[in-house]
Amino acid sequence: MSKLKIFGFLFGLVAGFAIAFMDPPTGLTVPAMWTLGIFVGGVIFMIFDVMPDYIVTLGMCTLWALFKTVPFDKAFSFFSNANWWLMIGALGMGVAAQQCGLLKRISLMIMRIFPATFRGQTMALMGAGAVIGPLIPSTVAKASIFVPLSVGVNDAMGYPRKSKGSAGLFSAVWMGFICAFPAYLSGSFLCYMMRALLPKEVQAQFDWIYWFLMALPWTIVFFVLSYLAIQFFYKPEKTDTLPTGYAAEQLAKMGPMSLHEKITLVVLLVSLLCWMTEKIHGIPAAIVALLAVIILLWAKVFDRPDFRAKMPWDVIVFVGTIIGIAAVFPTLKIDKWMAASLAPYVGPLISSPYVFIAGCTILLYIIRFFFISQTGTIVIFTVMFLPLSAQAGISPWIAGMITLTATMTWNVFYQNANYIISYSATGGDLVDKGMMVKLSYAYMVINLIGFMISIPFWQLMGLIK
């Protein structure tokens, strides 16, 4: 272990025990203090990367059960939750889609429609992200499949590596396929994870269609301003075009659609349709996702070795354990205590929805410099923001959207695992890290503008009182 990790280990232990042995303040009990001590110690371990995050959260839940601060079934409650199985199904669908090549084919078909210029192809790549994004609930899968597409387009257009042109094409894929995921409930398992943290009645309210409609103002702002930012920052000095028939040539190399591609296309489209119409037919989204994976496994689109090796089981365990916070805190009334304790300090923050949303978003921008785990940040701060949003008369879903979007920054390389995967998928020589930082700051501004423009719409729809 490095000296920093050793410091984090000792700091986490001392802080955890210090909180655990404190006299409970009004509104809390001794079990609640032990729960908070274990939680704070675990958070410090994650901040200093003492050990992998899924081991930390698994340890937190185990210690809660060991010290009987909450019952075992409450500490590990998410593993019997439909949202956990939905996440497994969604990630399995991503593995299958990554295997068969279908999504690359769809992207090339979209690229063939748009002009062969830099402007046209960046629009095509972002447009492909908007079309394909809701089909694959895995940002990792989308990064692995589509980021290499920008390499082929760049080389065909003749732009030097680490030039403005190459950075622009990479950015179009990055923004369109990965950063846009909060626009759709099925855009990432992170959306399902966030929804699982919300009160039951809010979860029932935000099915696929309602989520999409409520996020639509933010989505429009995001795509329009992201496209303009790419043109502003990365427009190449000379105009180059793709060779005539490039997309058609690439499609020809892929050959006709395979049986696996056809099966996957049907399964994805039917699954999306079922998610969109859940309130009509009443089949839970988790059942749809699991049936989809069963069909894809049975059809051998991906097989048992792929299921073992390519499913991100560490992520699945991490999400299942850390979301236990959402059940544990209310059981011990920690959430109510937090709300009451923070009330005197957040009065100005809850005085206006504009101030609340902007303040929470900027706070997370800052936190992300220190809290490396995106998933952990989403869970912890969604839980923290829920009582505050209730005081401000703001829907819990909006608090969750703040955490989903504000944690996507990549101001420094270590901040965003999806960005690291995307950068690595190009071989590491397509874009310069420094060139991409300005787009991260632009994203931060775009995200805030999207929220500010969404507020009147949310007020009209009753999400803000």
What is the domain partition of the chain in residue ranges?
A: 52-460
Please say whether the beta carbons of 267 and 292 come within 8 A: yes
CA distance 95 to 93: 5
Residues 220-243 have pLDDT tens digits of: 999 999 999 999 999 987 766 777
CA distance 25 to 408: 36
Please give the average per-residue pLDDT across 248-259, as a whole number. 88
Query: For the chain, what is the mean pLDDT?
Result: 88
Task: Return the ∠ at Cα 214 (arms to 208 and 216), rounded to 5°.
Answer: 95
Q: Which span out of 78-87, 201-210, 368-377, 379-388 was modeled with the highest average pLDDT?
A: 201-210
Residues 85-106 have pLDDT tens digits of: 887 888 788 788 777 878 778 8
Q: Higher model confidence: residue 353 or residue 335?
A: 353
Going by C-beta distance under 8 Å and a sequence separation of 6 or more, which residues neighbour residue 220? none
Helices (H) and strands (E) in the chain, counts: 25, 0
CA distance 402 to 357: 7
What does the pLDDT read at residue 227?
A: 97
Residue 379 has pLDDT above 70, yes or no: yes
What does the pLDDT read at residue 13?
A: 96
**Strand partners for 241:** 117
Residues 28-44 have pLDDT tens digits of: 999 999 999 999 999 89
What does the pLDDT read at residue 274?
A: 92
User: Which residue in 184, 169, 73 sits closest to 139, CA to CA?
Assistant: 184
What does the pLDDT read at residue 65?
A: 92
User: Which residue in 422, 357, 349 sits closest to 174, CA to CA?
Assistant: 422
What does the pLDDT read at residue 347?
A: 65
Residue 304 has pLDDT above 80, yes or no: yes
Residues 173-199 have pLDDT tens digits of: 999 999 999 999 999 989 988 998 899
User: Does residue 117 sit in helix, strand or coil?
Assistant: strand
How many C-beta atoms lie closer than 10 Å to residue 319's C-beta? 27
Percent of all residues in the chain with a pLDDT value above 90, rounded to a whole number: 45
Residue listed under structure tokens 């105009």: 239
CA distance 162 to 442: 19
Task: Return the ∠ at Cα 208 (arms to 77 and 386), rounded to 5°.
Answer: 50
Confidence of residue 110 (pLDDT cuts 50, 70, 90): confident
What does the pLDDT read at residue 464?
A: 96
The pTM of the full predicted model, rounded to 2 decimals, is 0.81
What does the pLDDT read at residue 240?
A: 67
What does the pLDDT read at residue 297?
A: 93
Please say whether the beta carbons of 359 and 320 come within 8 A: no
What does the pLDDT read at residue 221?
A: 98
Residue listed under structure tokens 């429009």: 220
Residue 385 has pLDDT above 70, yes or no: yes
Q: Higher model confidence: residue 284 or residue 421?
A: 284
Residue listed under structure tokens 């998410």: 78
SS3 sequence of 318-373: HHHHHCHHHHHHHHCCHHHHHHHHHCCCCCCHHHCHHHHHHHHHHHHHHHCCCCCC
What does the pLDDT read at residue 403?
A: 95
Please give the average per-residue pLDDT across 77-82, as a whole number. 78
Give me the amino acid identity at 103: L
What does the pLDDT read at residue 409?
A: 94
Please give the average per-residue pLDDT across 321-347, as a whole number. 76
Task: State both tokens at 192.
Answer: 């399902």
User: Which residue in 404, 419, 409 sits closest to 451, CA to CA?
Assistant: 404
* Phi/psi at 241 (5° precision): -130, 155
Residue 153 has pLDDT above 80, yes or no: yes
What does the pLDDT read at residue 343?
A: 66
CA distance 378 to 359: 16
Confidence of residue 146 (pLDDT cuts 50, 70, 90): confident
User: Does residue 202 sit in helix, strand or coil?
Assistant: helix
Q: Higher model confidence: residue 421 or residue 389?
A: 389
Confidence of residue 447 (pLDDT cuts 50, 70, 90): very high
Please say whether the beta carbons of 196 and 398 come within 8 A: no
Give me the amino acid identity at 152: G
Residues 8-25 have pLDDT tens digits of: 999 999 999 999 999 999
